[in-house]
Structure 1
């Protein structure tokens, strides 16, 4: 459960990382509250996976600091690893073993007794909706089932913080939504979830707070409604039969506001199809990020701050 009164569980300050001449993280700053579902959005190449790799001690930063559960990731990586779990872009399961065998094996490797490992495996199979498939080889599982098992493996020893790097990549719509339900239940139970994703709907549905990453920096952050408000409010639009926009009238989205907007369109005498446009995370994403994730500063021009972009949209 989200607790904003407690100190942040993740703190990133001026984090920098380069691979050769490519500056991937370029002064990254953000915090994550305890029990929060925090989503990091950005185009390919923006630095999402590198950020997770630094926070999970897989990659050492060049400069800046990052602490996870109060522990510096560079100074004491072993202590960080004891407090976290990571699920990457592909399921790390053994196809030759059954679902329960995967879980029991990891339980034993994590120090549980044989009885304790089997009890924990049964509990997790039930929690992640895999009890009926427990005795089946994982090689026969669907993509959604494999991802749920992968998440279950992350909870053999329950972590305080769960890192999910694009966890629903490659899943169909039904499997993606099933996994969203699992992630919500984990957050409701008190786990802090750090999520990277390219699916804007996913961040909209799951995240308490979202940071938009571009060119190795956070260019905007806030709740989904706060970010959407930055790229304009609701508007009633009038289109002709070919879909061309004829007129746009801003509205606050209330019943009275919509009625006033429709009256304005009526008085104009124009004919066409009326629709209500509401800002989406797609609008935020397109307004604040570059196509290649490198940021405009990497293309030889001054870095575009969010305020610059929003002025252009006005």
Structure 2
């Protein structure tokens, strides 16, 4: 545990370079967020939100510890697993406009069922048409739920996840020009089904994932105006492969498709209006994972936008940027 804390401290100090460029937090906001795609950083708020649901799942960390080891010729042998009830991690996810640092924690009640929660810190920047930046940071939306290893053989694993996000991040804003929320202002329910299958006796494992996220109504205020928002649901599909070089090093490549349905927004006593926030994004996710100190993991990766489709009413579409991620984890 001491080694993990030391590694996490070093990792956090390295990651703070992404935050050093703007030490003065500008708490400016807009009177609405109906044109998010048209401002630099607005799309990040839709895709990554104020939590680490969509960022934490791409770190490719094992959900349940392997109970087999791989020999030099690619064959596997059964080993006795070192059963650990809990794990803790430090995740960092960085784009030019969004940085999320989170601490996920999990605890196994039984070998195939674990409770988990994640505590994010979010820093977000929105840039207007004139190049002026509005930045805000703070505690994001905490998430809690469970993972269930519903099926397992020597080659195949199926994991069911269910998570609930809590509106702990601040979505309110002062009476100014831009809204820069670090939270959603409402609850959401996320359910996913993951499948992995090792191909024969090879080092390759096929990865698949399908997920749906439902957002409940969110309430917040911009200055003296109450706002209500009905976010559209999110559907995520991903597939790819992971290659195991040895017991310590793995690399994975995946294609992820994310579709965000259009929602509605109401300001004060006004009528409900379409929020023009539909989007569909296809990304290539590349990760490298290495084990250190026997039971700890370090993951580094990149998310490369491949294609993005915006709402028809969006005139000035924002160009999405690459994202970088890193994570260190340890059992306890």
Q: Given the two structures, how large is their TM-score scaled by the length of structure 2?
A: 0.23
Higher Cα radius of gyration: 1
Give the structure with the larger helix fraction.
1
TM-score by length of 1: 0.24
